[in-house]
Chain A
Amino acid sequence: MDTNKLQTQLRNRVGQCVLTSPGSACFAGLEGEKKLKLGASLRFFGDGWQMSKRVGGRRFWRIPVMDGEFVCEATTGLTKKAVGGGNLLVLGKSHAAVLAACERAVRVIDDVPEVITPFPGGIVRSGSKVGSKYKGQIASTNDAYCPTLKAAVKTALPLDVEAVLEIVIDGLTKESIAKAMRAGMHAIADGGAEQGITHITAGNYGGNLGPHHFHLKEIIA
């Protein structure tokens, strides 16, 4: 994705998902040589009632909304040197158990510097594989981890696994992602096997996702 497309995506996603959320505010989490507009484009939602405020060298836009004000930093940094796609797949005997374990993991990963869990709530239920039977579809459902397809595909799931959720981690360095994955795995395991988690694994997409490989046994050691 080039910078212009990323700018459009950022404006649309923050505008549709963050601006709309009650009580939210939006801050730049990254210093970068290049900048992307954040509040600088969303400010127009304020229809002339928006106010710009500079606090300690950072510029914020205050946009009036129905629950008060949406405060949004004017710009955020851009880097093309980050590492994307670190992931954990959590398998369990019930949807509730897997969700609870993943939420625990996301909370501790939030405290690890230089990483983000980019999906809503940090947790993904629609893990994907590369390619599809349909032309033009570059990714499709990760059928090997779909519990409803165990009988029809080359499944990666034991029969008693009812749900799989994924935590995707992007970071500024390989080391920071590894640190986040280790913290996440410990948080999941802290619940104990009796809570219904059966496996922690990760998708490696045949080793084709990128140059960085994270081997869970090495990370947890």
Chain B
Amino acid sequence: MSALTFELKGKPDQRLDLSPLIPAKLNDLKPKDIEALAIGTTRVKLSVGDAFKVKGNDAGSLRFVGTDGRCDKIGAGLTEGEIVVEGDAGAYLGDAMKGGKIEVKGGAGVLAGASMSGGSITIAGDAGERAAGIAVGETLGMRGGQLTINGNAGPLLGERMRRGFVIVGGNAGDYAGGRMVAGTILFKRGVGRYAGFGLRRGSLIFIEAPKDLLPTFCDCGVMEFDYLRILDRWLRTTGQHVGLGDRARRLMGDMAALGKGEMLIVA
């Protein structure tokens, strides 16, 4: 069996809603039925067969080839299986997903991993604003699982995040970790202004010290953390050699909110 592959025929003249294309919805469908699924977002009807060349037969493993930033909701609501995107992903990548795995070889649009509660997303390029943030109609951001952004992340990363783990390989924009309720974000490089704005609980871990710190974060000094050792060891098992060490400066905040969150700036 080979992965069920959707190859984009050409640049679509409207944004595509690819949320019907997840393993749980495709498992029992025949190729003809898959090609008939509606993915348009305007009054002009558009089916999978109109936009994609469909090959392969393993609905548990999906491949999108040649996609661009107008291909929205890839892996939205995913519960199981694997999706590989050989191209860019549009908005709402892995929106509210509960399990499974998504790998994007390019970048992703806004709200990647928004309100996801399980599974993992890896984005090789950049992610747009509000990654791991609040999906439409939700009150909380990411609630579990793992989001890895190897490029840069836009503003409001992890807004109102409740649980889960986000790692950013590049720079993150303003308001990273804004209004977070819990969870962990690891920044391998810089962040913009107002990181941790309104942080209630949760951890923001910095390899590079942020240039601007909110005045509502209070310094606890530098000390050892077993937690960093455990996290570093686990990251190594996933192939990510971050070199967290075991010492960090701890700042508690945001004191303008609940104030039980923390910034750990690796020493």
Contact = CB atoms under 8 A, between A and B. Distances in A.
Interface in A51-100: 51-56, 60, 62, 68-69, 71
B260 interface: yes
Interface size, B (range): 20 to 34
Nearest to B234: A56
Contacts of B260: 48-49, 51
A53 B203 contact: yes
Interface in A19-60: 25, 48-49, 51-56, 60
Interface stretch (B16-24, B34-42, B219-227): B219-227
Interface in B174-228: 182, 184, 201, 203, 223-227
Contacts of A53: 184, 203, 227, 231
Contact of B163 (A49, A54, A56, A60): A54
Given A49-B260, A69-B226, A55 B234 contact: yes
B182 A52 contact: yes
Contacts of A52: 182
B257 interface: no
B225 A69 contact: yes
Interface residues of A, number: 14
A68 B223 contact: yes
Contacts, number: 36
B256 interface: no
B218 to A, nearest CB: 14
Given A52-B182, A55-B231, A56-B234, A68 B225 contact: yes
Contacts of B237: 56
Given A68-B223, A68-B224, A51 B201 contact: yes
B contact face: mostly helix, strand, loop, or mixed: mixed
A68 B225 CA distance: 7
Contacts of B242: none
Given A56-B234, A56-B237, A51 B203 contact: yes
Contact of A71 (B144, B201, B230, B262): B230
Contacts of A62: 227
A96 to B, nearest CB: 34
B165 A71 contact: no
Nearest to A51: B201
Nearest to B261: A51
Nearest to B183: A54
Contacts of A48: 260
Contacts of B223: 68
Nearest to B145: A54
Contacts of A56: 234, 237-238
Nearest to B202: A51
A56 B231 CA distance: 8
Contacts of B201: 51
A56 B182 CA distance: 16
Interface string B154-165: 000000000111
A60 B227 contact: yes
Contacts of A49: 260
A69 B163 contact: no
A122 to B, nearest CB: 22
Contacts of A25: 226
Nearest to A52: B182
Contacts of A71: 226-227, 230
B71 to A, nearest CB: 31
Contacts of B227: 53, 60, 62, 69, 71
Interface of B: 144, 163-165, 182, 184, 201, 203, 223-227, 230-231, 234, 237-238, 260, 262
Given A60-B230, A68-B224, A69-B226, 9 more contacts: A25-B226, A51-B203, A51-B260, A51-B262, A53-B184, A53-B203, A53-B231, A68-B226, A69-B225
